[in-house]
A and B are shown apart, each in its own frame.
Chain A
Amino acid sequence: MSEKIKSSNHRQSLPGPDDIHREVLPNGIIVLARSNFNSPSVSISGYIHTGSLFDPDEKLGLADFAASALTRGTAKYSFDELYNELESVGASLGFDSGLHTTSFHGRALEEDLSLLLGLLSETMRHPTFPKGEVEKLRHQLLTGLAIRQQDTSDMADITFDEILYRGHPYGRSEDGNPDTIKAITRSDLVKYHQRCFGPRGMAIAVVGAVEPKRAVDLVQRALGDWRNPDQPEVPSLPELKLLEETVKHHFTIPGKSQADIVIGTNGPRRKDEDYMAASLGNSVLGQFGMMGRIGKSVREKSGLAYYAYSNLSSGVGPGAWTVSAGVNPGNVKKASDLIIKELRRFIKEGVTREELSDSQANFIGRLPLSMESNGGVANALLNIERYDLGLDYYRRYPDLVNAVRPSQVLEVARKYIDPDRLAVATAGP
């Protein structure tokens, strides 16, 4: 397969060892670069090893607050000056904080890549958290939380996490809540940043109209002298205590015309052996075509929902395997029953050879599409780095996908899904 790809130079092929440039800078930053000269644009994407796992309970949302505040003013630029630099050239830069990592994404025309990397460095290393800007941001975050409180989909997700991950750091909402956001001081932000931000283990992908060598040089110039010898390790995770019976919670939001349902259980970690089997099983269950078996049952046959699908969310720690649907408040029970019925069938019968082969073909066939944009390739490169998949992962991918057998899907389904021990979360009137 790779033979064929190499021979067609004019085409974007799947990334592999021959066209991904990976280099570790002396301070530990991992640079992944891949060229694409089809459009005069460049995407950057990456992460550093700090996130909401560091948040104290009473200041939940600290990492998220800090990530949002990075662009609010730095040693060199005010908030307005910084965005003026970016927006004047049609570039963008943003930060997101997760549990284990804080990630960043940016894009620019290739002539402005150096500027973009300079601003990335400036915001990550020299934020000043100006008092006035912090207060403005606090109001924006609080308004965001008030809006979230009214969103049936968001609240069903949050309620689900609280049930599945009770007593576990994954059960906490990374955005915090109004009380914790109000409790965070400017000094908390400054201290958190000083302590936890650092280059060790940082990864950055640079994809687009730039030669890999130059991409590395530009990252080196912008971030090569960043040091934080005291950068702490991200706290380790406690064991997840599994549910002993089905637990149901409803979050009431009066006046809404639709309710959201999230039903599910825990799932594998991304690095677990059975991840691929679970992922293919999930496709059959609630993704393939028009949202798999779940879509067929809840949407196509019963007409109960505009969206009804399953999702496997697998990262560093214990994953979540969920089914979500948005339905009329009067149909919550009916839809939930149909979903649980499908879960029972899934662990009883597993998937047929044909269903599995459909999803396998889909997984392999859709790869080129998922990588047509620079951002898509950048994500793929980071995925490789974060989960040690190997630079040849996407070249080996068809074999990895095709190696999964129906019996393995059944096994992984039974390992994780117990229809009598589910987290059932709903939000709506």
Chain B
Amino acid sequence: MPKTFTKTKLSNGLTVLLKEIHTAPLISSWVWYRVGSRDEVPPLTGISHLVEHMQFKGTPNYPAELMDKAVARDGGMRNAFTYLDWTTYFETMPADKIDLALRLEADRMVNSLFDEKEFSSERTVVISEREGNENEPMFLLSEAVQQAAFRVHSYHHEVIGDMADLKTMRREDLYKHYRTYYVPNNAVIGIAGDFKTPQMLARIKQLFGGIPKGPTPPRLSRPEPEQRGEMRVTVQGPGETAYLQVAYRFPAASHPDFFALSVLDSLLAGPTNLNMFGGGGISNKTSRLYRALVDKEFAVGLSGGSTTTIDPYLYYLALTIHPKRKPEETLAALDAEIARVQNEPVSKEEITRAMKQARANFAYGTENITNQAFWLGFAEMFASYDWFETYLEKMSRVTPKDVQRVAREYFHSQTRVIGTYLPIGNGEAK
């Protein structure tokens, strides 16, 4: 596929990744900041996400309503996401309208107002977002598992933050967070689509080049000490369905083992789709765990997946327990399957299959510009764009021996956390 990719660092430290793709008259632009929930300590958990919300509340030049209206009128799509290691803002626009998005992003890198009144209503919007999450048993369970898995590391808390902190955070806290982390030398901009690189780069320099550099904010990193023994947590709540989550410790995305583990994930639970848009949709009904757990009626549904993070994080298996089983029985069946992949080498064919699944997911992901632009900066947040470009190649070098080795090394019962959701009854219509 013809493509032009360039990576440039401006004198103020802003990293710019550009990729020309001339398949559709669209351009997608993503601005990434190296700040996420892992940079937060109590009583300010959730502050990165709240700051992200306030970034939509306007600057002197672009009041909130004007920004919304301008992008929507041009038929653009915009949103933002906050995660463990990063916060990102994107716009996908008709190619001839992208300048609006660039002006807007350059402006809100420094000029957001964080108006007190806007903040007070946005606080309750985010509280409502959290209450919506709390309606879901799987959210309650994964929050408990995550907290148990990280006692020291700040991956401890959910991105949305603790309710106590959401209720007490002040406007000054948010503004300080914003000014600390939203500096060009802590940001990456990735743009893909129908443009000419020299012109685009010149425009980026014009708009972003004058934003002064700030002190490079430190990342909060308190390494999680070794886990010495399996941990179990239980959550009780409404409903009549039990759920089980099993979290194993996985290495950082930049670790060489990540690729053998991706193959193993494909084999165990079906391929994880790393695309933000498009891609995915490949079912997991012939994965080892589906065959052993769902076909055999220990569970009615199963998913598994890893996350690309800077520091070691978790591999989650999530199971909806079959109504006629106890979570313990399902767990025993899971353990038998994990033991099998540790004791018997997997076949070459299984690896070839995982490769083809990964190749398909990548092909689906390239159907849309937004997703291709996403990858430019996303990969930079935990590795570099090269990580993405060489992903399939690295995966193709994985051997049956590698898979067995990582299965033995990472799927230990001593270092896992098991979470069980126990339903306390059903809600009937009254």
Please report A residues at the B interface, Cβ cutoff 8 Å.
Answer: 8, 10-12, 36, 38-41, 79-80, 83-84, 86-92, 94, 107-109, 136, 139-140, 142-144, 146-147, 149-152, 251-258, 288-290, 299-307, 326-328, 358, 361-369, 372-375
Given A41-B367, A139-B323, A358-B72, residue A88 in contact with residue B26 (CB < 8 A):
no
Contacts of A302 in B (CB 8 A): 121
Is the CB–CB distance between A11 and B241 below 8 Å? no
Checking A79, A86, A252, A369 against B427 with a beta-carbon cut-off of 8 angstroms, the contacting residue is: A252
Is the CB–CB distance between B240 and A146 below 8 Å? yes
Is the CB–CB distance between A255 and B238 below 8 Å? yes
Checking A36, A305, A368, A373 against B278 with a beta-carbon cut-off of 8 angstroms, the contacting residue is: A373
B400 contacts partner chain A, Cβ-Cβ < 8 Å? no
Is the CB–CB distance between B23 and A12 below 8 Å? yes
What is the distance, in angstroms, from A304's C-beta to the closest C-beta of chain B? 7
The B interface is mostly helix, strand or loop, or mixed, namely: mixed
What is the distance, in angstroms, from B299's C-beta to the closest C-beta of chain A? 10
Is the CB–CB distance between B238 and A89 below 8 Å? no
Complex alpha-carbon distance, A12 and B65, angstroms: 32
Is the CB–CB distance between A365 and B282 below 8 Å? no
Is the CB–CB distance between A90 and B359 below 8 Å? yes
Is the CB–CB distance between B286 and A84 below 8 Å? yes
What is the distance, in angstroms, from A414's C-beta to the closest C-beta of chain B? 26
Contacts of A92 in B (CB 8 A): 281-283
Is the CB–CB distance between A372 and B369 below 8 Å? yes
Which of B9-17, B129-137, B170-178, B328-336 lies on the face that meets chain A?
B129-137
Which of B74-82, B309-317, B337-345 lies on the face that meets chain A?
B74-82
Is the CB–CB distance between B429 and A252 below 8 Å? yes
**Among A39, A40, A149, A374, residue most surrounded by chain B Cβ atoms (within 10 Å):** A39
Complex alpha-carbon distance, A151 and B291, angstroms: 28
Task: Write 26 A-B pairs (CB below 8 A) sorted by A numbering.
Answer: A39-B364, A41-B367, A80-B285, A87-B284, A88-B286, A90-B282, A109-B359, A147-B241, A149-B426, A150-B238, A255-B238, A255-B427, A258-B132, A258-B134, A302-B121, A307-B132, A328-B127, A358-B72, A361-B75, A362-B75, A364-B75, A366-B75, A366-B76, A368-B26, A369-B75, A373-B278
What is the distance, in angstroms, from B121's C-beta to the closest C-beta of chain A? 3
Residues 278-299 of chain B, each 1 if its beta carbon lies under 8 Å from chain A, else 0: 1001111111000100010100
What is the distance, in angstroms, from B277's C-beta to the closest C-beta of chain A? 8
Contacts of B25 in A (CB 8 A): 8, 11, 368
Contacts of B135 in A (CB 8 A): 151-152, 256-258
Complex alpha-carbon distance, A139 and B76, angstroms: 43
Contacts of A365 in B (CB 8 A): 73-76, 94, 97
Checking B24, B128, B429 against A305 with a beta-carbon cut-off of 8 angstroms, the contacting residue is: B128
Contacts of B8 in A (CB 8 A): none
Is the CB–CB distance between A303 and B72 below 8 Å? no
Contacts of A303 in B (CB 8 A): 120-125, 128
Is the CB–CB distance between A87 and B285 below 8 Å? yes
Contacts of A304 in B (CB 8 A): 124-125, 128
Complex alpha-carbon distance, A366 and B74, angstroms: 7
Contacts of A299 in B (CB 8 A): 125
Contacts of A254 in B (CB 8 A): 238, 425, 427
Complex alpha-carbon distance, A89 and B360, angstroms: 8
Complex alpha-carbon distance, A215 and B61, angstroms: 51
What is the distance, in angstroms, from B160's C-beta to the closest C-beta of chain A? 10
B301 contacts partner chain A, Cβ-Cβ < 8 Å? yes
Complex alpha-carbon distance, A225 and B209, angstroms: 64
Given A87-B282, A88-B353, A306-B126, residue A289 in contact with residue B24 (CB < 8 A):
no
B69 contacts partner chain A, Cβ-Cβ < 8 Å? yes
Is the CB–CB distance between A255 and B26 below 8 Å? no
Contacts of B68 in A (CB 8 A): 289-290
Contacts of B430 in A (CB 8 A): 252
**Among A147, A301, A358, residue most surrounded by chain B Cβ atoms (within 10 Å):** A147
Is the CB–CB distance between B295 and A306 below 8 Å? no
Is the CB–CB distance between A146 and B124 below 8 Å? no
Is the CB–CB distance between B363 and A256 below 8 Å? no
Is the CB–CB distance between B128 and A107 below 8 Å? no
B356 contacts partner chain A, Cβ-Cβ < 8 Å? yes
Contacts of B24 in A (CB 8 A): 11-12, 38, 368, 372
Complex alpha-carbon distance, A222 and B43, angstroms: 62
B377 contacts partner chain A, Cβ-Cβ < 8 Å? no
Contacts of A39 in B (CB 8 A): 363-364, 366-367
What is the distance, in angstroms, from B353's C-beta to the closest C-beta of chain A? 5
Complex alpha-carbon distance, A307 and B126, angstroms: 10
* Closest partner residue, chain B, to A289 (CB atom): B68
* Closest partner residue, chain A, to B270 (CB atom): A87
The 3 lowest CB-CB distance pairs between A and B, nearest first, are A365-B75, A90-B360, A303-B121
What is the distance, in angstroms, from B118's C-beta to the closest C-beta of chain A? 8
Complex alpha-carbon distance, A84 and B134, angstroms: 37
* Closest partner residue, chain B, to A133 (CB atom): B295
Contacts of A86 in B (CB 8 A): 283
**Among B22, B281, B430, residue most surrounded by chain A Cβ atoms (within 10 Å):** B281
B218 contacts partner chain A, Cβ-Cβ < 8 Å? no
Contacts of A258 in B (CB 8 A): 128, 131-132, 134-135
Residues 238-264 of chain B, each 1 if its beta carbon lies under 8 Å from chain A, else 0: 111100000000000000000000000
**Among B74, B363, B367, residue most surrounded by chain A Cβ atoms (within 10 Å):** B367
* Closest partner residue, chain A, to B75 (CB atom): A365
Given A39-B363, A258-B132, A358-B72, residue A150 in contact with residue B239 (CB < 8 A):
yes
Contacts of A373 in B (CB 8 A): 278, 367-368
What is the distance, in angstroms, from A294's C-beta to the closest C-beta of chain B? 14
Complex alpha-carbon distance, A281 and B361, angstroms: 38
Complex alpha-carbon distance, A76 and B280, angstroms: 27
Complex alpha-carbon distance, A10 and B2, angstroms: 12
B428 contacts partner chain A, Cβ-Cβ < 8 Å? yes
Besides A11-B25, A258-B132, A369-B76, 16 new A-B residue pairs in contact (Cβ under 8 A), listed by A number:
A39-B367, A83-B285, A139-B297, A139-B324, A147-B239, A257-B132, A303-B120, A305-B125, A358-B69, A358-B73, A362-B72, A365-B73, A369-B26, A369-B77, A372-B24, A373-B278
What is the distance, in angstroms, from A85's C-beta to the closest C-beta of chain B? 9
What is the distance, in angstroms, from B326's C-beta to the closest C-beta of chain A? 15
B416 contacts partner chain A, Cβ-Cβ < 8 Å? no
Complex alpha-carbon distance, A363 and B72, angstroms: 9
Complex alpha-carbon distance, A251 and B367, angstroms: 42
Contacts of A362 in B (CB 8 A): 72-73, 75
Is the CB–CB distance between A143 and B320 below 8 Å? yes
Given A87-B284, A253-B427, residue A328 in contact with residue B121 (CB < 8 A):
no
